[in-house]
Amino acid sequence: MNKVKKLIKTIFLIEIAQGMWVTLKTMLTPAVTRQYPKVKRKPFAGSRGLHAMRRDDSGLKERCIGCGLCEAVCPSKAITVVTSEGPEHEKLVNSYELDLLRCVFCGFCIDACPVSAIVMTPEFELACYSRKDAFYTKERLVDVGDRYMGGKAVKK
Amino acid sequence: MPDMHMIMNIIYTLVIPAAAMVAFILANAMYLQLMERKVLAHMQGRLGPMRTGWHGILQPIADAVKFIMKEDIIPAKADKWVFSIAPILMLAMAFGAFVALPFGPPTNFYGLLPHKAPLWVANLNIGVLYILGLSSIGTYGVIMAGWASNNKYSLMGGFRSAAQMISYEIPMAFAIVIVVLMAGSLNLSDIVNAQSKRWFIIALPVGPVAFFLYLISAVAETNRVPFDLPEAESELVAGYFTEYSGIRFGMFYMAEYINMMVVSLLVSIMFLGGWLPVQILPNTAIGHIALIASINGALAALPAPLWLLAKLYFFIFFYMWIRATLPRYRYDQLMAISWKFLLPLSLGTLLVAAFMKQAGWL
């Protein structure tokens, strides 16, 4: 009986017909392609993109306290923090530099930051024409933060 | 001094149909490429070309410009003459087949012309034989290209193509002989007219078998998936046209699509009644119900060439559909299908057809 079934299957090309049916069905269902530059998907919640620096409660300067934990935890050594002592023995953050060409977007710096000063935005289109454009200083990071938070100091 | 009447006659019956045919072929060869890309893409859940014009409608023009602009490279160790002639030969043979293909009965285009104009270039009384012959010469183009390139992949592609075309031409020819037996003529217009009562695809018992034989052999004859061993890109880079670039590559590409049109037109003409309209059970009790009879009347009122084109594009779509579905056969399987299965089947069917013709049952 099985042999007869197999013979019938072979003669009438049943399996090929089944395959043809699958391709026809696929053709009639909408394609899964997204027309990327024209149609952009909403980023997933918690997606890790370009970094941003938040402002402190006064809104005048960055929130970073210069602890250097992000610098220490960064696996690709993309972050450089330079601090000094101010006139009233407070810690000043002289520079906070992020080299996106080194960054692997692991998000460890965000986890390490004790005051949630450095955060990540969902921005992922980071192509640029020169290496300089991929080098983010403190001011540029604060600008990114302003772009995403409207310049407001948002408390966690 | 040739008289004016004769010149006008030549223009009407030869120059205008030929020019119209060439324009039709070229436009089709360009746009079938887009159609193939679109059909394949959608069958794989993709969209295909989308950026050149609306849904990539200008893509063939971009491709054509690119083919023409690219450098035409002839390899240093290639046989230059044979290398140059091969694509021209293939394209010429593909074009040549259209001389004998009729697109419909003579028409005056609803009174537009003062007299009836033919929808063919030449009404050859050996049309079928002529097209078979041309397709065989087209094989030489493949072999020449493979040999002249002086490249082992090209050579293997050429050899494979030669072996494959010889193997599949036999069952194909027998399938055609069965049709010729049924129609009693080698003229393609006569073959269509012989199907006015019933199409040969439903002429039991030999019609469906001959159709099946021809359909499979035609896929192999045009070197398409699943019989695309001559240009198997995963094994032979691109097969016989590996070394070709620029416009010569474009010529091979065009020849492939034109050949596809030729076999699709042939199968429409020989088995699906050519330009005869689709009718719902015309000669039975159901066909005489008023509603169905009026539908049949409306279908028959459509222009004849439209029916042929509908069948042509259906078969072209069918070949693309097969390409999207089936994997490639192994080389020994390819040979086994032809010599161990198709050839005995075609011989047996021919025998039955000949017997039935003699007995007057067909």
Q: Which residues are A84's β-sheet partners?
A: A92
* Over residues B181-200, mean pLDDT: 83
Q: Is the pLDDT of residue A66 over 80?
A: yes
CA–CA gap between residue B110 and residue B303 (Å, rounded): 10
Phi-psi region of A89 (alpha: psi -120 to 50; beta: other; left: phi over 0): left
Q: Taking a C-beta distance cutoff of 8 angstroms, is the pair B60, B30 a contact?
A: yes
3-state secondary structure B237-270: CCHHHCCCCHHHHHHHHHHHHHHHHHHHHHHHHH
Q: Taking a C-beta distance cutoff of 8 angstroms, is the pair A122, A47 a contact?
A: yes
A54 closest CA partner among A64, A65, A46, A45:
A64
With an 8 Å Cβ cutoff, are A20 and B44 in contact?
Answer: no
Q: Taking a C-beta distance cutoff of 8 angstroms, is the pair B252, B149 a contact?
A: no
Q: Where are the domains of chain A?
A: 1-32, 51-149
Which of B43, B50, B326 faces A27 most closely, judged by CB atoms? Answer: B43
Closest chain B residue by Cα to residue A23: B43
Which of A19, A33, A35 faces B325 most closely, judged by CB atoms? Answer: A19
**Which helix (H) or strand (E) is B236 found in, with range?**
helix B233-236
pLDDT tier for residue A6 given thresholds of 50, 70 and 90: confident
pLDDT of residue A41: 86
All residues of chain B having their beta carbon less than 8 Å from the beta carbon of residue A20 are 321-322, 325
B159 closest CA partner among B147, B148, B170:
B147
Tokens of residue B16, six digits: 């205008």
All residues of chain A having their beta carbon less than 8 Å from the beta carbon of residue B43 are 23-24, 26-27
ipTM: 0.70
> What DSSP designation does B117 have?
B
Q: Where are the beta strands (DSSP E) in A24-156?
A: 51-53, 79-85, 91-99, 118-120, 135-136
> What DSSP designation does A93 have?
E
C-alpha distances out from residue A27 to A19, B32, B36, Å: 13, 17, 13
Residue B66 to chain A, least CA–CA distance (Å): 24
C-alpha distances out from residue B96 to B144, B218, B328, Å: 19, 17, 30
**Which helix (H) or strand (E) is B32 found in, with range?**
helix B16-43
Tokens of residue B85, six digits: 């002639």
B319 assigned to some structural domain: yes
Residue range(s) defining the domain that contains residue B229: 74-359
Q: Is the pLDDT of residue B144 over 80?
A: yes
A&B contacts, CB < 8 Å: 35
Which of B43, B47, B326 faces A26 most closely, judged by CB atoms? Answer: B43
> What DSSP designation does A84 have?
E
With an 8 Å Cβ cutoff, are A23 and B321 in contact?
Answer: yes
- Cβ-based neighbour number of residue A127 at 10 Å: 7
All residues of chain A having their beta carbon less than 8 Å from the beta carbon of residue B45 are 26, 29, 31-33
Sequence-separated (6 or more) residues with CB below 8 Å from residue B147? B79, B82, B154, B155, B158
Q: Quickly tell me which residue has 């002529």 as its tokens.
A: B130
**Count of the separate structural domains present in chain B:** 1
Q: Quickly tell me which residue has 């047996």 as its tokens.
A: B348
* Over residues B250-263, mean pLDDT: 87
Q: Is the pLDDT of residue A156 over 70?
A: no
Q: Taking a C-beta distance cutoff of 8 angstroms, is the pair A53, B359 a contact?
A: no
With an 8 Å Cβ cutoff, are B325 and A29 in contact?
Answer: no
pLDDT of residue A154: 47
B248 assigned to some structural domain: yes
With an 8 Å Cβ cutoff, are A31 and B41 in contact?
Answer: yes
Closest chain B residue by Cα to residue A26: B43
- Cβ-based neighbour number of residue B285 at 10 Å: 7
Mean pLDDT for all residues in chain B = 83
pLDDT of residue A152: 54
Tokens of residue A156, six digits: 């966690």
Q: What are phi and psi of A89, to 5 degrees?
A: 60, 25
Q: Is the pLDDT of residue A135 over 80?
A: yes
pLDDT tens sequence across B47-70 = 888 888 888 888 888 888 988 888
pLDDT tier for residue B256 given thresholds of 50, 70 and 90: confident
With an 8 Å Cβ cutoff, are A33 and B45 in contact?
Answer: yes
B33 assigned to some structural domain: no
Q: Residue window 33-62, chain A: list those with CB within 8 Å of chain B.
A: 33, 35
pLDDT tier for residue B134 given thresholds of 50, 70 and 90: confident
Q: Residue window 167-226, chain B: list those with CB within 8 Å of chain A.
A: none
Mean pLDDT for all residues in chain A = 85
CA–CA gap between residue B334 and residue B324 (Å, rounded): 19
pLDDT tens sequence across B308-335 = 888 899 999 998 898 888 888 888 888 8
Q: Residue window 323-352, chain B: list those with CB within 8 Å of chain A.
A: 324-326
Return the CATH number of A51-149, one of 3.40.50.2030, 3.90.1010.10, 1.10.10.10, 3.30.70.3270: 3.30.70.3270
Helices (H), A1-156: 2-11, 14-28, 69-73, 108-112, 138-149
Closest chain B residue by Cα to residue A16: B326
Q: Which residues are A119's β-sheet partners?
A: A52
CA–CA gap between residue B164 and residue B342 (Å, rounded): 13
Q: Taking a C-beta distance cutoff of 8 angstroms, is the pair A84, A94 a contact?
A: yes
B98 assigned to some structural domain: yes
pLDDT of residue A72: 92
Tokens of residue B280, six digits: 């719902």
Rounded percentage of chain B residues whose pLDDT exceeds 70: 96
pLDDT tens sequence across A13-35 = 788 888 888 888 888 888 888 88
CA–CA gap between residue B358 and residue B362 (Å, rounded): 8
Side-by-side strand order, sheet with A135-136: A79-85, A91-99, A135-136
Q: Taking a C-beta distance cutoff of 8 angstroms, is the pair B286, B187 a contact?
A: no
* Over residues B104-115, mean pLDDT: 73
Tokens of residue B34, six digits: 């887009």
